């Protein structure tokens, strides 16, 4: 099966139209229309077997996650999706792999109505490169350099589940009914595009997705904004881990594990109070977890410190982010 037959069979029948796509798959370039007053948001990630996912991961999970981690970048910028391109390197055109891979990708693309608008396929080691494109108004882009002193620090969900999946797979610990949700966090992360309208309503200006771990990703915000942070360890949401996971490993999973793709963001005290009022009026709104505060930089303080964990200081200071 040549490149064009492969694309036609597995990647065009399920594709959806995009309102801003003037020309999609099938020509030398895709053509997108971006309205005046908007920025084009662009992000690229490469997803390689043995580096970003375990050998033997189901093809559907590979296709799903490869797109999910890229869509997550659009959510972190507060952007609406326009389309994505796919560059796929595969050892051979295995129908079983391609069918599952395309099915996983289709599932997420259809959910968020993000069309495939171009790409390439080559023979080689299994590797997926996706470029996502979105649009965001000039006034509402969520940037890392906009955190202000006094802002509350929030996360959008539980942290550490995906890290447990990595930890368990390295140790050949099988999945059980009790740990299935933790493995799912690793294989099928949910990009938080659903939160973008609410964050706009709350006048959020700073966000990123937690791909490398809470401490590492928060450090990106602090360095870009020239601030420091104080966190409350007891307020950071996390799953229930199996009893055989040592406490220091649980701590690392929660603070430095990554791969959860929840959003980390800041809100002014006024907008944090606005969220609490909206949540009381509408309990169905997503839960945001207030985990700390942005503060001014000071040479005598660490970039990130904790208010409630003196008994764990030796573990915390051993992390590379400190």
- CATH number (domain holding residue 124): 3.30.1330.10
- Across 173-269, where does the E strand assignment appear? 206-209, 227-231, 263-267
Question: Tell me, what's the pLDDT at 313?
Answer: 45
Question: In the chain, how many domains are there?
Answer: 2
Domain's final residue, options 137, 171, 197: 137
43 close to 73: Cβ distance less than 8 angstroms: yes
Residue-wise pLDDT for 20-37, tens only, equals: 887 777 777 888 888 999
Give 299's pLDDT tier (boundaries 50, 70, 90). Answer: low
Cβ neighbours of residue 52 closer than 8 Å, sequence gap 6 or more: 46
Q: For residue 320, is pLDDT > 60?
A: no
pLDDT of residue 14: 62
* Same domain as 148, residue 133: no
Residue 187 sits in the same domain as residue 310: yes
Task: Kindly list the distances between the CA atom of residue 285 and the CA atoms of 80, 197, 281, in Å, as whole numbers in the listed order.
Answer: 20, 11, 9
Is the Cα dihedral 211, 194, 11, 22 positive or negative? Answer: negative
Structure pTM? 0.90
**118 and 180, same domain (yes or no):** no
Please indicate, yes or no, if residue 100 is contained in any of the structural domains: yes
109 and 179 in a single domain? The answer is no
| Domain encompassing residue 119 | 3-137
Q: How many CB atoms lie within 10 A of CB 305?
A: 15
Task: Check whether residue 47 and residue 151 sit in a common domain.
Answer: no
The answer on 168 and 128 residing in a single domain is no
> Quick check: is 24 in a domain?
yes
Q: Do 111 and 202 belong to one domain?
A: no
- What is the per-residue pLDDT for 239? 96
Query: In sequence order, what are the beta bridge partners of 38?
Result: 137
Final residue in a domain of this structure, among 81, 104, 137: 137
* Judgement on whether residues 85 and 152 belong to the same structural domain of the protein: no
Q: How far is CA 212 from the centre of its chain?
A: 9
* CATH number where 174 lies: 3.90.650.10
């Amino acid at each position: 099966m040549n490149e064009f037959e492969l694309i036609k069979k597995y990647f065009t029948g399920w594709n959806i139209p995009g309102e801003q796509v003037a020309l999609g798959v099938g020509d030398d370039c895709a053509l997108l229309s971006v309205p005046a007053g908007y920025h084009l948001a662009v992000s690229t990630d490469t997803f390689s077997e043995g580096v970003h996912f375990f050998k033997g991961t189901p093809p559907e999970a590979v296709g799903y996650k490869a797109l999910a981690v890229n869509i997550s970048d659009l959510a972190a910028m507060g952007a609406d999706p326009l389309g994505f391109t796919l560059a796929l390197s595969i050892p051979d055109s295995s129908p079983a792999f391609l069918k599952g891979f395309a099915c996983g990708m289709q599932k997420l693309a259809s959910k968020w109505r993000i069309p495939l608008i171009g790409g390439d396929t080559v023979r080689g080691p299994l590797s997926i490169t996706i470029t996502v494109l979105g649009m965001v108004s000039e006034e509402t882009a969520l940037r890392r350099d906009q955190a202000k002193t006094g802002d509350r620090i929030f996360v959008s969900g539980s942290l550490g589940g995906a890290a447990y999946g990595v930890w368990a797979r390295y140790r050949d610990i099988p999945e059980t009914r009790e740990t299935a949700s933790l493995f799912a966090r690793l294989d099928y992360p949910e990009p938080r595009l659903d939160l973008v309208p609410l964050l706009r309503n709350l006048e959020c200006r700073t966000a990123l997705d937690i791909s490398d771990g809470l401490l590492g990703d928060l450090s990106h915000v602090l360095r870009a904004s020239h601030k420091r942070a104080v966190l409350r360890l007891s307020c950071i949401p996390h799953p229930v881990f199996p009893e055989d996971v040592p406490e220091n490993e649980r701590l690392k999973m929660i603070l430095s594990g990554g791969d959860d793709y929840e959003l980390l963001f800041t809100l002014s005290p006024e907008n944090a109070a606005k969220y609490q009022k909206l949540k009381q009026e509408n309990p169905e709104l997503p839960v945001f977890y207030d985990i700390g505060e942005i503060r001014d930089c000071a040479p005598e303080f660490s970039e990130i410190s904790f208010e409630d964990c003196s008994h764990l200081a030796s573990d915390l200071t051993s992390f590379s982010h400190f």
